[in-house]
């Protein structure tokens, strides 16, 4: 595995592979890998000739009061993990390499998609995501890009963006990876104290109960939502940011649950904001 | 020459050429060709294996009170002209092919570059340009893209955008093509009455006098600007939108003229807004 820090160097090494007809799979990340990231890399490894992972904690997708500085980092461990799953190139640019002086260009998805759910409490977040992903796609020019379904809104927004901008990159959403007790893997889970770690299970509990109700035949969104809210509020350290039942394509709220429905929630456990979701594609 | 209306069809035919190692030169246009457009196509023909011209009157770069509906169109003539200079593919999409229902993604260069000069009287114009060019670049994925230096601000903004977004496309600015009496070629010149056509020469006269003064040694921007304004105001049908002396790279006003200086002006002759400029790269 090669570590590359400069955009030009990565472009030129990948150009060589493409001229030889190789397909490129790309996994954009902010590092501090867990099994969720590794599963994306394994999907990429299976589907592509050359696998590129970027590790860049992107400042433009963090709000001024968010955890950019505190975001967990561990490059040495991340390199070993990438190596262990057969990644070919790890792209690790400095902030100034990505946003040099005079930088001025941004990509926005001007839709309700970006100002609800996580967008409501994180204004500008999806502008930062859309911009950095556009840049990374132009640098790597991958055939496939792999994203975790855990960030369901991000997947929907990026699919919209790629469709709108006529990108040739195929976005592949990969299933949520969970701890054995059901907690969705997240780099932010390290923020949780031991007791908060237990309380954090409430997100999965609420989604599991929603799934059980739907499998039993419940199709009324409001009823499922009320049950979920009740479950979450029974945990005293929890504070609901949102519990929403929406279309997975448009992210607009729905009244009736169908196979296009996404149930998404964000809950603060103590000071740590966690997200999770359920795609009702099993219907 | 092939005419292609659909994005998918163009992508797949170009993919084939690229797999065979061919370079692609691209000329994005709004049609109604004059010698200026044809010179861009000739540059593209010389430098690339495959030449693609797009013809799309892009609604998102016109303001609500601008001439989108009235913008001159003549597809049959344009096809013949493209054919005559050896263009391989003409891409002529419908508006709904480029902006289908639910379209939401825009590219903005958030810099003073876009809200001064033409940007001041055309708010949103460069957002529309940046967005459609990003889309067209993703569709064509050219090695080179050819733009007229007549739209000097457009060239500077697109160079900024491509640098910021790490585009692999090389932007090539081609010299202004003029009528024998000096009027810069423009699709909008057809709006001019016979007497306005004469009055319109004042743009070139002002720039020629600026060049004469600079070649004689004048380096004071304000002095050159004052002379130009005086010349233009001597024509009664003229109304200055702007006369600016700026850096060609940043578009910021300069006091002292150097080889990076751009002298740009926009003048209304009757109801027709004309632009022209001089790059002081001869210093």
Which residue of chain B has the CA closest to A21? B19
Which pLDDT tens digit goes with each residue over A185-203? Answer: 998 999 999 999 999 999 9
Distance CA B40, CA B45 (A): 9
What's the pLDDT tens digit per position in B10-25? Answer: 999 999 999 999 999 9
Q: Indicate the residue of B19, B111, B138 with minimum beta-carbon distance to A104.
A: B111
Q: Do B165 and A108 touch (CB under 8 A)?
A: no
Residue A254: which pLDDT band, with cuts at 50, 70 and 90?
very high
Asked if A165 lies within 8 A of B135 by C-beta distance, the reply is yes
Pairing of strands A272-279, A261-269: antiparallel
Active site residues of A: 37
Tell me which residue in A108, A135, A161 faces B165 most closely, judged by beta carbons: A135
pLDDT value, residue A214:
98
Token output for B138? 């993703």
Give the number of beta-carbon pairs within 8 Å between A and B. Answer: 74
List the domains of chain A with CATH numbers. 2-174 (3.40.50.620), 187-274 (3.30.1300.10)
* Mean per-residue pLDDT of chain B: 96
In this predicted model, what pLDDT tens digit does every residue of A164-173 receive, in sequence order?
A: 999 999 999 9
Distance CA A127, CA B107 (A): 10
User: For the residues A245-254, what does the mean pLDDT come to?
Assistant: 94
- Which residues 245-264 in chain B show a CB within 8 A of chain A? 250
pLDDT band at residue A151 using 50, 70 and 90 as cut-offs: very high
pLDDT at A62: 94
Share of chain A above pLDDT 70, in %: 100
Contact A109 B104 (CB under 8 A): yes
Contacts of B164 in chain A (CB under 8 A): 103-105, 135
Instruction: Please answer yes or no on whether B113 and A104 come within 8 Å at the CB atom.
Output: yes
Residue that has been written with the tokens 């400029």 in this structure = B277
For residue A234, what is the enclosing H or E element? none
B5 catalytic residue (yes or no):
no
**Residue of chain B with shortest Cα separation from A11:** B168
Q: How far is B45 from chain A (nearest CA, A)?
A: 23
Average pLDDT over residues B187-214: 97
Q: What is the pLDDT of residues B230-239, one digit of tens each?
A: 999 999 999 9
Q: Which candidate in B5, B16, B17, B37 is catalytic?
A: B37
Residue B57: the pLDDT is: 97
- Average pLDDT over chain A, rounded to an integer: 96
Residue B70's nearest CA partner among B183, B191, B241 is B191
Span B97-111, pLDDT tens digits: 999 999 999 999 999
Triad B97, B57, B82: Cα angle to 5°: 95
Residue with the two structure tokens 């799953």: A85
Provide the 10 A C-beta neighbour count for residue A29: 23
A109: nearest CB among B7, B105, B139 = B105
Whether A166 sits inside 8 A of B135 (CB atoms) is: yes
- Parallel, antiparallel, or unpaired: how do β-strands B272-279 and B261-269 relate? antiparallel
CA of residue B48 relative to chain centroid, distance: 20
Average pLDDT, stretch A139-149?
98
Rounded CA separation A36/A29 (Å): 11
Retrieve residue B250's tokens.
């940043």
């Amino acid at each position: 595995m090669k570590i590359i820090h400069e955009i030009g160097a990565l472009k030129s090494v990948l150009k060589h592979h493409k001229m030889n007809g190789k397909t490129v799979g790309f996994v954009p990340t902010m590092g501090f890998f867990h099994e969720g990231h590794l599963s994306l890399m394994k999907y990429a490894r299976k589907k592509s000739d050359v696998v590129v992972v970027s590790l860049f904690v992107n400042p433009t997708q963090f709000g001024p009061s968010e955890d950019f500085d505190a975001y967990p980092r561990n490059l040495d461990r991340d390199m070993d993990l990438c190596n262990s799953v057969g990644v070919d190139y790890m792209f690790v640019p400095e902030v100034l390499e990505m946003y040099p002086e005079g930088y001025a260009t941004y990509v926005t998805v001007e839709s309700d998609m970006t100002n609800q759910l996580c967008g409501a409490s994180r204004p500008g977040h999806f502008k930062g995501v859309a911009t950095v992903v556009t840049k990374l796609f132009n640098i790597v020019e991958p055939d496939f890009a792999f994203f975790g379904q855990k960030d369901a809104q991000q997947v929907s927004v990026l699919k919209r963006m790629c469709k709108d901008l006529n990108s040739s990159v195929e976005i592949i959403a990969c299933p949520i990876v969970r701890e054995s007790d059901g907690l969705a893997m997240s780099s932010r889970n390290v923020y949780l104290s031991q007791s908060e770690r237990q309380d954090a299970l409430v997100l999965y509990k609420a989604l599991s109960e929603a799934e059980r109700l739907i499998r039993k035949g419940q199709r009324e969104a409001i009823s499922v939502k009320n049950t979920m809210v009740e479950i979450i509020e029974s945990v005293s350290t929890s504070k609901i940011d949102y519990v929403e039942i929406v279309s997975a394509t448009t992210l607009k709220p729905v009244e009736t649950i169908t196979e296009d429905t996404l149930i998404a929630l964000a809950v603060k456990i103590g000071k740590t904001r966690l997200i999770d979701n359920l795609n009702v594609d099993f219907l």
